[in-house]
Amino acid sequence: MMHLNKQIKTSLKTALQEDIGRVDITTLFTVPYHFKVKSVILAKENGILCGIDIARRVFLEKSKNIVFKAFYKDGDAFKKGEKIAFILGDARVILSCERVALNFLSLLSGIATNTQEFVKRVKGTPTKILDTRKTTPNLRTLEKYAVRTGGGYNHRTNLQEAILIKDNHLRAGKFIRKGIFDEVRMAKCISYLRTLAGIKLEIEVESLSEFKGVVKYAPDIIMLDNFPLANLKKAVLFRNKHYPIVKLEASGGINLTNISAVAKTGVDFISIGSITHSPKAIDFSLEVLDG
């Protein structure tokens, strides 16, 4: 069960306000206020469940008398046609909250399912699958939770959590001028950053020459951005021989087709933006039971 912090609770309330508006006029004029119904959430395809507690909370936001019984917990695999949850209570509340609850469940289950597909591809290697900051605005906490539910790991949650010097930082900070890497300035910068106790330091590089220019300063992690397989292998071999303490992260252009080969190069991490920025949502439906 995930912890529903203040930010998440606010997101749920905002989502309900967005979807319902002032009043659900269709339900208001078709369903008497005192009617109670039984309903079930059905899976319309296979997947990994995530967000069942969020779905429960959506209904409880409108009525504390709703009975919500989940048949699966987050992280469980389910199959098409299976009942995910049973809901009993005020018919108006159930119908008005249905779409918001299913939207959260579909999105988060899609991320968890997508993440697990990547995790399966690297099984047998020590490589960990990481997410990125390519998340839906204001839903990062939930989406990163879904990544963990699917067996992945979280990269930094926000910009203050860790130092990640990327190509734009190097250019904006004049570490690279006319294509030439200024190793003297980099050395001074890293020397200072080392004084910031408890904060991890990661540097992105785009070529083997940049990698060799940075690895000697032993940052915690070096991100190998869009490296061909051959260069990934060379970087890992060089790291293993000379700087085994440095972790290597592969990023860019990695998908379900090539991820196994990337993991087998020996990199420690593979970061994949697509697991949060473009997952396929899992389809669920809510069905009111007759009688």
Catalytic residues: 99, 134, 166, 204, 225
Count CB-CB contacts under 10 A for residue 44: 13
Burial of 11-33, coded b for 16+ CB within 10 Å and e otherwise, reads bbeebbeeebeeebeebeeebee
Question: Is 140 in contact with 133 (CB distance < 8 Å)?
Answer: yes
User: What whole-number distance in Å separates Cα of residue 90 and Cα of residue 79?
Assistant: 28
Among positive and negative, which fits the CA dihedral 167, 239, 133, 192? negative
Residue spans of alpha helices (H) in the chain: 6-20, 25-30, 52-62, 91-121, 140-149, 167-172, 183-193, 208-215, 229-242, 259-263, 274-277
Q: Tokens at residue 25, please? A: 């006029």
Inter-CA distances, 278 with 10, 34, 143, 175, 274, Å: 24, 41, 12, 33, 5
Among positive and negative, which fits the CA dihedral 2, 273, 108, 258? negative
Cα atoms in the Cβ-side hemisphere of radius 13 Å centred on 196: 14
Question: Is 269 in contact with 127 (CB distance < 8 Å)?
Answer: yes
